[in-house]
Amino acid sequence: MSWMLLAAAAGSNAAALRTADPGPASASSFGIMFWVLILVSAAALAVVIERVLHFHRVQIDSAQFLAGVRNVLRRDNVIEALSICDATRGPVARIVKAAILNRDGGRARVEEVIEEIGQIEVPRLEHNLPFLATVAQVAPLLGLMGTLFGFAAVFRELRRPDGVSYGYAAPGEMFDGLMQSLYAAALGIGIAAFCYAAYNYLVHRVNLIVLDMERASREAVRLTAGDSEGTPPPA
């Protein structure tokens, strides 16, 4: 009888050690959707960094830039005005340069060219922003899918060896599936919140640059059409 008790105790200790061991089992507790979300978050972060750096490069002090071009054009120094536009990065400088190059075509031609430049520049500013909006909407769904996969793993552990009936399992055997569910849900919600906030911030930056483009367009029309500084353009 004593050897049977010792064997049972040894088996219980071995089971407890297997349950407490976080090594190999913990590596699989993340689940495949967790790593999919990690890849998606890395791509979203790369887009945010690229857009922030791009906006930092192209957004200029449009008032100072236009004042410099205006002073040069008052001296009829078109070459220097074009040089200032070439030395300045961003859509505002390209709009003013296009207006100066087409000034001989009259107001209608200048307005047409400015509109064409705007139709090219705005999509450049909005590049990859739809991707962020998509990730903000899809990330919680991917997290939910990971949660379902995790619960499926829990029920798989509850299945008995015959593959048909279900019974009881040790808490450690269900740990991976439960952690997979929690990790995927939390990561999906976190990525969605980050992408939503980043998207709104970047859209705000785009709107600011577009406003600068509109002001530069009106000023470029006045400068190239020969209007005086205080005369507003016709409606």
Q: Is the pLDDT of residue 58 over 50?
A: yes
Residue found by looking up tokens 């490069």 in the block: 57
pLDDT digits (tens, 9 = 90+) for 104-141: 888 888 888 999 988 999 999 999 999 999 999 999 99
CA torsion sign for 127, 128, 134, 136 is negative
pLDDT above 70: percentage of residues in the chain? 76
pLDDT digits (tens, 9 = 90+) for 184-207: 899 999 999 999 999 999 999 999
- Give the domain ranges of the chain: 30-225
Using alpha carbons only, give the angle 16, 21, 24 rounded to the nearest 5 degrees: 135
CA torsion sign for 132, 134, 136, 141 is negative
Q: Is the pLDDT of residue 2 over 60?
A: no
H helix and E strand count, the chain: 9, 0
